[in-house]
Amino acid sequence: MDRRTFLLSAASAATANGATWQSGSVAHLLPTASHNRILLKASFREKPHAPVLRVGKRNVAGRMTDTQGYFWSFDVDGLAPGQPHTLALLDGRKKALCDPWQVKTFPAPGEAAQRFRLLIYTCAGGDERLKAAGGVSNFLPLAQRHRLFDRALSFGPDAVVGNGDHIYWDLRQTGAPPRYPEDILASTGRFVRTLPALGTPNEDVLKRVCEQQIGKLYGTRFRGTPVFFLQDDHDYFENDDANAQMVTYPPDHFMLQLGRGTRQLYFPEFLPDAARPLGLPGASAPDKPPGVGESFGTIRFGNLAEVALFDCRRYLSLAGPNAWIVPPEVEGWLQARAADTRVGHLVNLSSMPPVYSAGKWGDWYPDILGPDGKLTVKVEKPYYQQGWLKQHDRLMQTLSEMKGRIPIWISGDMHAHGEARLLRGAQVDLRRNPVNVFLSGALGTGTGWPSGGRRTRPYPSQAIEVEERLPALEENGFLIADFTPEAITIRFFRWLPKQGEEAIDRLEPFRTTEMKRG
């Protein structure tokens, strides 16, 4: 061990006593974990020479994920479950690139864990330099988002779900030009759709766009907490729109390249789970670490809790009455997990929210903003696919029919907090065991809330029947979900800029919902 490595190791030990963790040349770190594997994404301010990740006595070579040598992935398997593992990044000369730190693996699937805490938020992305009409900020400054993250992490979550909209840089339907000012475009550059996303000038543009919204936002804050990032519509660089000009989803080739490229560079894929088929769409791609998924993932915490994560945009279909939001193979996986009662709690966690609608095309529901400015199902929504609602009902019925478990679905996208119980779908009665539905709160949305553009806040769809327990609140914040063998407790945290930044440091739940197993 060279002198620098020794000093950094000593600094790491001192961190527990209040010293500052030293990031060295590391620009960002985002790990994920299962019970026996850690996958880490990292970027560097200076090109590292043959970097390795040291875990205990093992050295694991990095895999370069860009074409220029600044972005790397590290994949370590065969780890002991439920244990903290000390990680150290070194270059090929065994020189420390940052302080060591720890990541804890989850309990093994057969272990009877007693407590699990999950932090959930949505819509963390956005370039703070962008302003809406009239100079209103579209997105919170990074300093305020950092403070929200720090407060959320102070509660000690075991894992984090960043649920969609990590990037806002829509290109054609609502994008640049003319949406983005010329000075910002000059600093980022413009994409060329006829070139590949990586290995061409597009790679530099992608990095400049993502660095403002992901790299600078996360830095090394989450280095010790496993993260799970779902992608939503904006993460493929378009809003969900359908009109005579274009239908944006499913993503075209260039959109898919940008979405895959963003994940490849910045945040980890979903690690395999024995109960999730390796051949689901977007899984086991030959250019990714072995067996990982890009769109559908699992958080498995012993036999206490399982969270099924699913992207609702990448594979949606436009087949009218036979259309789906998630492919049939994914629906089958979700149904199988609901039927496996060896896990105490099951949560559906999707990028696209059920129950709530704002009249957008990309909803589960046929609601649209009517001439009177209110949501209605009496006016036909152009390009809406009836099969989406049929699949919604099937998935909700699957949750409702679980025995001895709490039916629960948590989602993002809506830039809001919300809570409701779904009593009836379009065609299915769920009153015997209603599904508990939560909106997670938005991390990055500025003062120009989506209702300013949508002309309505989110409301429960008129195609279903719900008991609305918390009307949708367009406020910044996050959720913390606590799992014990007997119950799930959801705590809501909210903040608005008018409260002042100092209030973030004192945030406490404004609402708590406890659901006990029957």
Helix, strand, or coil here: 375?
strand
Q: What does the alpha-carbon distance between residue 63 and residue 467 come to, in Å, rounded to a whole number? A: 49
Report pLDDT for 331.
98
Indicate if 122 and 205 belong to the same structural domain: yes
Report pLDDT for 450.
85
- The answer to whether position 187 is within a domain reads yes
Domain termination site, one of 59, 76, 105: 105
Cβ of 299: how many Cβ atoms within 10 Å? 26
Q: What does the alpha-carbon distance between residue 374 and residue 457 come to, in Å, rounded to a whole number? A: 10
Indicate if 196 and 248 belong to the same structural domain: yes
Indicate if 89 and 124 belong to the same structural domain: no
Indicate if 122 and 89 belong to the same structural domain: no
Report pLDDT for 130.
82
Beta carbons within 8 Å of 14's beta carbon, 6+ residues apart: none
DSSP state of 85: E
Indicate if 292 and 390 belong to the same structural domain: yes
Beta carbons within 8 Å of 80's beta carbon, 6+ residues apart: 36, 105
Report pLDDT for 131.
74
Q: Structurally, how many domains does the chain consist of?
A: 2
CA distance to 13, 18, 71, 142, 237, per residue, from 21 (Å): 9, 9, 21, 20, 34
Task: Name the H helices within 224-326.
Answer: 253-266
CA distance to 202, 244, 353, 405, per residue, from 310 (Å): 28, 29, 11, 20
Query: Could you list the residue range(s) of the whole structural domain that residue 46 is in?
Result: 1-105
Question: At residue 417, what is the residue type?
Answer: H
Cβ of 68: how many Cβ atoms within 10 Å? 12
Residue 422's DSSP bridge partners are 435, 466
Tell me, what CATH number does 123's domain have?
3.60.21.70
Q: What does the alpha-carbon distance between residue 332 and residue 50 come to, in Å, rounded to a whole number? A: 42
Domain termination site, one of 83, 105, 127: 105
> For 309, how many CA atoms within 13 A lie in the half-sphere containing its CB?
26
Backbone angles phi, psi at 280, to 5 degrees: -60, 155
Indicate if 202 and 334 belong to the same structural domain: yes
Cis bond leading into 407, ω under 30°? no
Residues of the chain with pLDDT under 50: 1-18
Report pLDDT for 132.
63
Indicate if 427 and 474 belong to the same structural domain: yes
Indicate if 277 and 349 belong to the same structural domain: yes
Indicate if 63 and 127 belong to the same structural domain: no
Backbone angles phi, psi at 299, to 5 degrees: -110, 115
- The answer to whether position 36 is within a domain reads yes
Indicate if 164 and 17 belong to the same structural domain: no
Indicate if 19 and 90 belong to the same structural domain: yes
Helix, strand, or coil here: 55?
strand
List, as one string, the DSSP characters of 108-172: PTTS----EEEEEEE-----TT-B-GGG-BSB--HHHHHHHHHHHHTT--SEEEEES-------S
- The answer to whether position 458 is within a domain reads yes
Beta carbons within 8 Å of 19's beta carbon, 6+ residues apart: 11
SS3 labels along 455-506: CCCCEECCCCEEEEEEEEECCEEEEEEEECCCEEEEEEEEECHHHCHHHHHH
Q: What does the alpha-carbon distance between residue 34 and residue 107 come to, in Å, rounded to a whole number? A: 8
Indicate if 80 and 169 belong to the same structural domain: no
- The answer to whether position 110 is within a domain reads no
Report pLDDT for 134.
57
Helix, strand, or coil here: 507?
coil
364 contacts 323 by C-beta, under 8 angstroms: no
Domain termination site, one of 105, 126, 152: 105
Helix, strand, or coil here: 54?
strand
Tell me, what CATH number does 75's domain have?
2.60.40.10
